[in-house]
Amino acid sequence: MMILRTTDTSPFGRKPRIAALHLGLMDQIKTETADALEPDSALRRENPLGKIPVLTLQDGRRIYDSRVILEHFDHLVGGGRLIPSDWDARLAVLTAQALADGVMDAAVLIVYEGRHRPAQLHHQPWLDYQRGKIERALAQLALTPPDPQQVNVGTIASACMLGYLDWRKQVDWRATTPALVDWLSAFRAACPAFDATAASGA
């Protein structure tokens, strides 16, 4: 049995949960809640970066981050399901994943600024810098969105990104990039695992 250490609210942790459900791997995985802020947590022992998620394999090896875990899941089902073997298609889905992961990094930093720093220490230019990354990436995604009927690392990451922005509201993406509203609806229809992994209240 593999052990996936994550949280219900992490957009990065949602990626492998969606992938595992979609690929039919959940019966091989035990999910355990991680605490990224606990100094002596199992998460920090298993991933020295202290970042969510981390996957412990049946032989005891630990792999991270979400990109590596999704690639491992694809390998377990024979390959080509989440990451195409064709090189051009592979580059496209990996780049889409990188764009979405970068947005989630910026979005999480905005949340952490509000949660962990006193209000008088908030640095607006830095927050604007993070929002700029998000807004530019969303505009690019709206111009050249991946096919929402295809469930791969790029579309999974993009959907997790939009779901996280919906929940934490770092930007009003539905107003600024309405084309992505229809895109997310189409992906949800193609991949029921997206709704099945929504955090409570999200």
Strands ordered across the beta sheet of 29-33: 29-33, 2-6, 54-56, 62-63
Homologous superfamily, domain 2-76: Glutaredoxin (3.40.30.10)
Question: Where in the chain are the domains?
Answer: 2-76, 87-196
What's the pLDDT score for residue 133?
A: 97
92-to-44, 102, 190 alpha-carbon distances in Å: 32, 15, 19
Summarize pLDDT for 137-185 with one digit per residue, the tens.
Answer: 999 999 999 999 999 999 999 999 999 999 999 999 999 999 999 999 9
pTM score:
0.94
Spell out, as residue ranges, where the chain has pLDDT lower than 50: none
What's the pLDDT score for residue 127?
A: 92
Helices 153-168, 87-116: axis angle to 10 degrees equals: 20
What's the pLDDT score for residue 40?
A: 79
Cβ(147)–Cβ(186) below 8 Å: no
CATH code for the structural domain at 87-196:
1.20.1050.10
77-to-3, 70, 71, 154, 182 alpha-carbon distances in Å: 17, 11, 10, 18, 30
What's the pLDDT score for residue 35?
A: 83
